[in-house]
Amino acid sequence: MTTTDRWPTLRIMLTGHVAFALIIWLLFAVVSALVTAGFAIFGTVTTSIWYTVGTQVPRWFLLGLGVDAITTYLRLHIAHGRTRKDFLRQLGPYAVVLSVVSGLLGALGYLAEHGMYSIAGWPARLPEDMVFGRTTDFFAIFGLYSLVFLLWTVIGVLLGAAFVRNVLLGVVTIPLALLVILPGEMLLRVNGMPLIGVLSDRLAPSVLAGLGLSVAAVVVAGAAIWAISRDMPMRPKVA
Amino acid sequence: MTGSTVEVRDLGVRFGAVHALADLSFSLSANKICGLLGRNGSGKTTLLSVLAGYLRQNAGTATVDGDPVFENATATGKVCLVRGTGDASPPKVAVRDLLDYGKQLRPTWDADFAAELVERFELPLKCTPATLSHGKRSALGITIGLASRAPLTIFDESYLGLDAPSRYAFYDALLADVLAHPRTVIIATHLIEEVGALFEDVVIIDEGRVLLHEDADTLRAAGAAVTGEATLVDSFTMGLQVLGEKSLGRTKSAMVYGPLDDRRRAQAEEVGLELGPIALQDLFVHLTSGGSR
């Protein structure tokens, strides 16, 4: 097998995006530490800051990376004489690895925060009724965050593909993307979107149902990505 | 390594109600430099996009070495299309990484040649295309195209942003590389006068159809450039189809379309007129202007 046979686009995307994710997560950690310090100096630390900083923003960051996978790397892949089918085959492992690494960073963030709070004597409470009760439930947090980040990465790819194909299709795909992330939001119970917030509060499922719905959502999104991208025309760039 | 053959049959591409290509057919033999000429909107980029698998046709077939192109890695792996400043140079990725991607993604990639071209075009490796001038982005596209060593390498107006010395450096590099590593090259251009000397084959398309496909030498012999004293040129070209004229002082050059027989050639020599090959650009203008000139 030659070098070029070993899923090169997967390696290229992961090298670029995972390295970028590490830098961004470091930034999240610094911001989280600064916010915590602010609360400690000017008020009282009562809840986990990482819950907000390490959950809200990273989801949008992963959505952006999903979009970038299509807008940057699909074009690059085709321009080097490869097929869409070959690219889409490598997208699944890409999304899983990126999400798992991000989930791990999220879980490690809680651990680090717990250590800091323990030393300072602050309570590391979570502001919502989460499926994991404590910030030290490392594996539960790791699994749940990986799943939520996977859903957000997948909708990034989906929206990227839809908008590249056709702006109108992109707009029409937004409701589908919201449905795809819904199971994860219901499990995680943290979001900044009104509609999703209402739904996730009212339809809070069991962990098992949430996982089942998440898998179904990934399958539906994957099918939609395939349908949109398999014969996507690559239009000339505007100079 | 050798170049690829191209076969296009009854090709049709529609964008809504607009027929960009209609019943377009031609074939190219391997290891030649082919000029693809056409006016704006004639369908050049659409045709080349189909040949590279960037776009699926609505009708007909496009094959490279006999293999259908769209979503067929056997065929697309042999093609490198540099469209404008190139599709393999996303704006936010460093030049060094882009060249490394070429190495990872293309089995035929020549990293040493890429490094040589980077030096020749003075490309900054740490910069991203977003921070480069249009000329440097063009040079990067050309570098990726040449270093790909793809059996079918296509340049679609890829060097428009380059200054004249860089364009000539590109022509030199292309010629030298094609001689050393034979491959099929298609060049779509509006700079016909400048690039024309490279062409061995010429395809002219107009309104989505092939207007002419001819060996470049045959095409150049389809007429003549008559140069000499103005009154003598006027007298000689009387009754002939003149495509264009240029004057400098008392000297005039007229492009005449149609073959000149031996009697005519002897007559020109007798009165001291010079006969040269017709300029491709004048011929192109004549063929695609619908008789407006």
What is the tens place of the pLDDT at every residue in B148-203?
A: 999 999 999 998 889 999 999 999 999 999 999 999 999 999 999 889 889 999 99
Whole-number Cα distances in Å, B35 to A171, B40, B197: 41, 15, 10
- In this predicted structure, the answer to whether residue A193 has a pLDDT above a threshold of 80 is no
Q: What angle do CA B168, B174, B175 make, to 5 degrees?
A: 90
Distance from CA of A151 to the nearest CA of B (A): 25
Residues of B in contact with A73 (CB under 8 A): 90
Kindly tell me if the per-residue pLDDT of B293 is higher than 80: no
Residue A238 covered by a domain: no
pLDDT for residue B70: 97
Residues B87, A76: C-beta atoms closer than 8 Å: yes
Could you tell me which CATH number the domain at B223-277 has? 3.30.70
**8 Å CB contact of B56 and A82:** no
Question: Which of B48, B64, B101 should we substitute to test contact with A (largest number of A Cβ atoms within 10 Å)?
Answer: B101
Distance of residue A89 Cα from the nearest chain B Cα, in angstroms:
13
pLDDT-derived band at A7 (thresholds 50, 70, 90) equals confident
Does the pLDDT at position A81 exceed 80? Answer: yes
> Chain B residue closest to A230 (CA)?
B71
Q: Is the pLDDT of residue A216 over 90?
A: yes
User: How many structural domains does chain A have?
Assistant: 1
Return the bridge partners of B68, or none: B63
pLDDT for the residue numbered B41: 92
Subunit contact B49:A233, Cβ cutoff 8 A? yes
Region B14-33: mean pLDDT is 95
Q: Answer whether B84 sits within 8 Å of A237, measured CB to CB.
A: yes
Q: What is the DSSP letter of A3?
A: G
Residue A198: what pLDDT? 64
- Average pLDDT of the residues in B18-40: 95
Whether the CB-CB separation of B65 and B75 falls below 8 Å is answered with yes
Give the residue, A5 or A168, on which the prediction is more confident. A168
Q: How many CB pairs under 8 A join A and B?
A: 96
A2 has pLDDT over 50: no
**Do B104 and A81 count as a contact with CB atoms less than 8 A apart?**
no
Q: How far is A90 from chain B (nearest CA, A)?
A: 13
- pLDDT for A121 equals 84
pLDDT band at A212 (very low <50, low <70, confident <90, very high): confident
Does residue B292 surpass a pLDDT of 70? no
User: Is A3 a residue whose pLDDT tops 50?
Assistant: no
Tokens of A126: 């979570």
Burial class (CB in 10 A: 0-12, 13-18, 19+), A195: exposed
Calculate the average pLDDT of chain B: 92
A80 with B88: Cβ contact below 8 A: yes
Band of residue B259 on the pLDDT scale cut at 50, 70, 90: confident
C-alpha to C-alpha distances, A128 to A185, A200, B274, nearest whole angstrom = 12, 12, 92
Q: How far is CA A157 from CA A35, A177, B61, B269, in A?
A: 32, 10, 31, 70
Interchain pair B106, A81: CB under 8 A: yes
Q: Which residues of B touch A226 (CB under 8 A)?
A: none
**Residue A161 near residue A70, CB atoms below 8 Å:** yes
Q: Which residues of B touch A81 (CB under 8 A)?
A: 52-53, 73, 76-80, 105-106, 148, 150
Work out the pLDDT band at B77, boundaries 50, 70, 90.
very high
- Residue A96 included in any domain: yes
Contacts of A65 in chain B (CB under 8 A): none
- Look up the domain containing A169 and give its range: 9-229
Which position has the higher pLDDT, A58 or A194? A58
In this prediction, residues B103-121 reach a mean pLDDT of 95
Q: How confident is the model at residue B282 (pLDDT cuts 50, 70, 90)?
A: confident
- Residue A207 clears pLDDT 80, i.e. is over it: no
Count of alpha carbons within 13 angstroms of residue B270, beta-carbon side: 7
- Indicate whether A2 belongs to any domain: no
Going from N- to C-terminal start, the domains of chain B cover 6-215, 223-277
Out of 3.30.310.50, 3.40.50.300, 3.20.20.70, 3.30.70.2860, the CATH code matching B6-215 is: 3.40.50.300
**Is pLDDT at A238 greater than 70 in this prediction?**
no
* Chain A residues with CB within 8 Å of chain B CB: 2-4, 8-9, 11-12, 16, 71-73, 75-86, 230-231, 233-234, 236-237, 239
% of chain B with per-residue pLDDT over 90: 74
Count the residues in chain B.
293
